[in-house]
Amino acid sequence: MLAIFASIFSGFLSASLANRIGWEAAPALPTGAAWTQLAQMLTPGLSAQSYGRSDDPFRNNGGETDAASVSYLTDRTPATEDVDAYLAGLQQRLEAAGWTVTDTYSTSPTDIETGARQNNSQALIARNGALVLRFEDYFDAAYAEGGLRVSIYRAEPRWLTGSTLAVGLLGMLAGWLLAGWASRRLEHRPLAAFLAATTAIGGLVLLIPAWLLGSLQYLGILSGTAVPDSPFWHGLVPTDDFGGMAYPAGAAITAAIAVAALCPPRPAPATDPGSAGTAKT
């Protein structure tokens, strides 16, 4: 059982490392004329009142690892205050430009007792081959507030998803072989075998939350049903949700491997050659 779990988690760790390295070769966010053309299609005639951009693959967003993005805000106008009509027009422009709208939903706060929406705010998510769009039109007539929030980040390329899966499968094989090597090396050293198994189990248990979340997210990416704005391995980042467990988990797994590597194998107990004979009758 330990070998099976070692194989599974080795595959997860290998896939995570390969995915993070692969993102360095992913296409960059649009710049220059390409960005200007895209912004005009999304918010024609409106200028950005606040603009932010990060060109690294990922960023630390308040303790969470998010995909780097280009984002901006615009003020409200009479056109944006009609939220339903504005999003319907945006959807038509997106589809004409080759984008696919994957989700629309309300972002309006609701009354706790009645469940009624307190304003009319809606969001839209769309993607094309390389980019993901999050677009929100918010308007609160009671407080005369509103505007558009636009955020664009990179979708994971198909080649990166496939290579991540391939490296993960190789990592599973490597984990199985590593567990077999450790088992054979510590076969006749029960105390060292117990110590190595205990520390390995402790390290793997600490990785369970990150593995569960990452596996579910990666299955969504493989099936094309999810376009998350954070990597599937974000639970391994020390500053992220479950990332605080990454340090002790890594230390425990490293200690288990060190025990197997540094402990010299003990030869099997010698057997009496005479005991193997059989009496003749």
The reported pTM is 0.79
Structure tokens at 85: 């009509």
Region of 158 please: left (phi>0), alpha (psi -120 to 50) or beta.
alpha
pLDDT value, residue 241:
67
The predicted structure's pLDDT at residue 157: 87
- Residue pLDDT tens, the chain, 281 long: 889 999 999 999 999 999 999 999 888 899 889 999 999 999 998 888 888 888 888 887 767 788 888 999 998 888 888 888 999 999 999 999 999 998 888 887 665 555 555 667 889 999 888 899 999 998 876 667 788 999 999 888 889 999 999 999 999 999 999 999 998 888 888 899 899 999 999 989 999 988 998 898 888 888 777 777 788 998 888 877 667 788 898 899 999 999 988 887 767 666 655 554 554 44
**35 — phi, psi (to 5°)?**
-70, -40
Which CATH number describes the domain made up of 28-154? Answer: 3.40.1000
